[in-house]
Each structure stands twice: as structure tokens, then as C-alpha cells.
Amino acid sequence: MNDRQLSPRVLEALSGRELIVVSNRQPYAHSREDGEITVSRPAGGLTAGIDPVMQRTEGTWIAWGDGDADFEVAEDGRVRVPPDDPSYTLSRIDLSEEDLEGYYYGYSNQALWPLCHGMIYPVRCDGRDFERYRAVNRRFAEAVVEEAEKGSLIWFQDYHFGLAPRFVRREAPEALLTQFWHIPWPTANTYEVCPQAEALLDGLLANDLLVFHTAEYVENFLECVAETVPDATVDRDRRIVRRGDRTTTVRAFPLGIDAERTEELASESGVWSDLAERYGIGGQTVALGVDRLDYTKGIPERIDAIERFFEENPDWRGEFTYVQNGSASRSEIASYEYLQQRVDTAIQRVNRRFGTGEWQPIVRIDEMLPEEELYALYRHSDLALVSALRDGMNLVAKEYVASQIDGDGVLLLSKFAGAHAELGEDAVTINPFDTQAFAEAIERALSLSAAEREERMAAQRRRVTEYDLQAWMNDVLETALDCEPAHDRSVTHA
């Protein structure tokens, strides 16, 4: 992202105050390779997007130091970044095995992740994990309070920090606190299974501004507050919650991508033919699926639909290839391990049933592709299959659209992905739970005329370009500034 596109109001506000970002993943990691310390930038549009803003504000970014040499470069965890032109501080939190077990693998990813995605079966809200989650949230909050000075804008990212805002609020009552919740918020009758429901809402209501991707998640959140927090007054029309003398504003701003940069990457020529040859991507027509291997993404459901498609459309054998690019994720959790086995078995089955000596219907790429290869794959894929069972947004859908510089691909998009609210009208909508209808949707997408494909894609490209990462950031930060508590800010918290 280029900060020249931030609004004048945001630029002015940020030049006069410190921005403190709090996230689980860090923007730079130090690792040891062959005796040398190297720096890498973990993939992820958001970290890449916030980084230039941090460089401009000279703020502090607080995150888990997960690089194996992170604490070799700075024992206290504080390091100036970017490494080649240091302009802000990355303050790393060192988490022990037990911390990770309870906070990351436990409460964040076995309680909150499935709960917020409305998947009750794998939910495990273990009180012991919650205590570790609370302790880690407290440590992040302490790091915030240590950094914060008068007027700091503190911006929490995601579901790893449901309690930290309350801890910060206790120490710094006048701080301006904002949080972006990157995953869905469930309905009240799903949320009520959580024994820590009230404690989490108490933590989140310490924010001045709480942002979700869609209006539906905002509605769900307000409903949960109304049902769970006895002393809260919910104003659904104004989308605010009042408690005592404090107000939390709740808004929907759908996360966008850096469309300009995506287009640039997709424009690089000569990458696709090498990639196709290296992985044996045969067939004239290509469909892609790009995901972390997560049970919310609907990957086995997608493979089932592809299998049905080949059963019913044998003429496409040898012509149509599906490329599954899925990197392993959270593998220490049993439900993820089980998913990986299901995906392996399903791919083998389809390739055995329909593959020929020269052609495989499903090509899997398990490694994380370098950016220029990933964007070449996006550009040259005739179809993108985004079949999430539930997804906060799904940036793959937006990245595919922005990469379609030739303008003729078709996005098949689950109605249960947050991106559907913006792109659904011009996508081929799918319900990943209905194998037959999903297979027919693939067939329909392949038979759309060139004019119709181009018209749909042009409309989607307009949306993705107009409401991009920069526009989203302006909305979040301007709204945060509007939420500034109107009282004396003369107390320093440093």
C-alpha cells in the first residue's frame, strides 16, 4: 500500500500522534539459516498494508515474535524496522510453548475460530486455555501501556485479542482504542454456547470503535451484547453500545486489497508457462483454489463437486484442470490434521478415477508460491472456486478479481463468504453444501459467453479497485478519530 492515498485528515492526525498496532503475527521475522540471520516478511495483505502507515507515523507494532532468531537480534524484543530503512519499532512478545498451547492453538483456534465461524462441533472452550489466553492478552496489554503516550491511537487486530482492550482501558482510561475483527461474528444462539461469552464482550466493549467486515456481523454482535451483557444499552439504529459513561461504536468496513499492486504483479509476463510446466498443469482450461488448509474453506466439498462435474461431463477430461494451492495450517490441532487427510484422500480418488497417462484432473501445489507465481496463477485461471463454508471476507476472491487484467475469468463464490456481499451480484453464486448444484455451477460458468464473462468481471474489478485497502484504512481510521472520547487528554500513560 502507498500511504499517499491516505486521506488528508488521516495523514494529519497520524503525523501528530503515535499509532500502536497489536497483532498476533508480526510484519518482519528474524530467522537463522545456515548460521546467518535473515529477515523475512510473512505473507499477508494486511501486514503489508499497515507497514507503510507505520513507517510514516513512527509508531510501535506489538506482535508475537515467532522467528527463531527474533530475540537474538534484540534481547528485549524491541527492534527497529524495516531493517533496511528503520522507521518504527517492532516490539516482540516472547511466548512459551505453554502460552502457544493455551492462547493460540487452544482458545484462539479451538474456541473462538470455530465458534465465530458458526461451527459448533469442533468448539472447545476449555477454561484452562481461557486462563492462558487471558494471561497472554494481559502481557500484550502491558506492552501497549508501556508504549502508549498521550493521544496514542491503539489498533488491535483480530480474535486473538478479545480481552486486551479491557486491560489497556483500566490503565489508560483516555486512550483511543480500536479493534478490527477479521472473522465473522456468530448469531446469538451460536455464541451462547461459549462459557466465557460475557467476559469476551466485556473485553471488546472497552474499545471506542469495533469494526467487522459486514453489516450482518455487526447485527449479530449487537444482538449478542443485548442478550449477554445486562448493564449494556444497545442502540441498533445508531450501532452503538452504551455502558456507564462509555460508548462503543460498532461499524462494518469490508477489508480490501492493494489492487494496484496486485495488478502490477499479475502483469509480469513469462511466469505462467514455467509454472504450468513445473507442476504439470495440463488442459486448456484451468480452475484454481487457493487457501490455507482450514475446515472453514470448503476444500473437500469443492473436490466432491469437481468429481461430480467430471462424472457428468466426461468430455472435459484432458481439457479442464483444477489447481489446489493449499498451505498447511495449524496442523497441531486434530481437526486440521483430519482435514488434511480428507483432502489427500479426495484428491487421490479423483485423480485415480479420471486421470490419464498425460493429464491429472487435480494438480496440488502444497508450497506457498512466490508472489509473482501466485498472481500468474490467478491471472491465467479461467475460474476461481471460492467455496468457503463460512468466511469473514475471503481475500482470495478479491485477489483473483484484481489479477484478471485480461478481464475474462469467472469467480464462483460461496454465498457464505463475506466477500459475497460485495461481489456476489456478478459472481456465479454457489452453496458448497450442495454438491450437485456446485458441479452444475462449474458447468454453467464454463459455458458463459465471452461478453457475459467480461461484463461480470468488469463490474467486480470496479468494486475491488474502488474500495481497496487504502479506502478501507481511511474509513477505519477516520471513524476511530470520530470516536475520540471528548474529555481531558492531558494525562500521560508512558
Nearest distance in Å: CB 110, ligand F6P? 12
138 makes contact with ligand F6P (CB under 6 A): no
Of 17, 25, 78, 317, which lies in the binding site for ligand F6P, with binding defined by CB under 6 A? 25
CB nearer ligand F6P, residue 216 or residue 268: 216
Nearest distance in Å: CB 74, ligand F6P? 22
Instruction: Show the binding pattern over residues 341-380: x = contacts ligand F6P (CB under 6 A), - = does not.
Output: ----------------------------------------
Site for ligand F6P, residues 28 to 47, rule: CB under 6 A: 44
- Among 165, 164, 231, 228, which residue's Cα sits nearest to residue 193? 228
330 makes contact with ligand F6P (CB under 6 A): yes
CB nearer ligand F6P, residue 257 or residue 306: 257
CB nearer ligand F6P, residue 182 or residue 251: 182
CB nearer ligand F6P, residue 101 or residue 198: 101
Nearest distance in Å: CB 290, ligand F6P? 12
User: 3-state SS of the chain?
Assistant: CCHHHCCHHHHHHHHCCCEEEEECCCCCEEEEECCEEEEECCCCHHHHHHHHHHHHHCCEEEEECCCCCHHHHCCCCEEEECCCCCCEEEEEECCCHHHHHHHHHHHHHHHHHHHHCCCCCCCCCCHHHHHHHHHHHHHHHHHHHHHCCCCCEEEEECHHHCCHHHHHHHHCCCCEEEEECCCCCCCHHHHCCCCCHHHHHHHHCCCCEEEECCHHHHHHHHHHHHHHCCCCEEECCCCEEEECCEEEEEEECCCCCCHHHHHHHHCCCCHHHHHHHHHCCCCCEEEEEEEECCCCCCHHHHHHHHHHHHHHCHHHCCCEEEEEEEECCCCCCHHHHHHHHHHHHHHHHHHHHHCCCCCCCEEEECCCCCHHHHHHHHHHCCEEEECCCCECCCHHHHHHHHHCCCCCCEEEEECCECCHHHHHHHCEEECCCCHHHHHHHHHHHHCCCHHHHHHHHHHHHHHHHHCCHHHHHHHHHHHHHHCCCCCCCCCCCC
Instruction: Show the binding pattern over residues 141-180: x = contacts ligand F6P (CB under 6 A), - = does not.
Output: -----------------x----------------------
CB nearer ligand F6P, residue 45 or residue 432: 45
Site for ligand F6P, residues 36 to 95, rule: CB under 6 A: 44
Site for ligand F6P, residues 182 to 211, rule: CB under 6 A: 182-183
Nearest distance in Å: CB 113, ligand F6P? 8
329 makes contact with ligand F6P (CB under 6 A): yes
213 makes contact with ligand F6P (CB under 6 A): no
Nearest distance in Å: CB 204, ligand F6P? 16
CB nearer ligand F6P, residue 423 or residue 439: 423
Nearest distance in Å: CB 460, ligand F6P? 21
CB nearer ligand F6P, residue 44 or residue 195: 44
Nearest distance in Å: CB 183, ligand F6P? 5
CB nearer ligand F6P, residue 24 or residue 152: 24
Nearest distance in Å: CB 402, ligand F6P? 17
Report the distance separating Cα 431 and Cα 416, nearest Å: 8
CB nearer ligand F6P, residue 388 or residue 428: 388
Q: Which residues bind ligand F6P (CB under 6 A)?
A: 24-25, 44, 158, 182-183, 329-330, 392
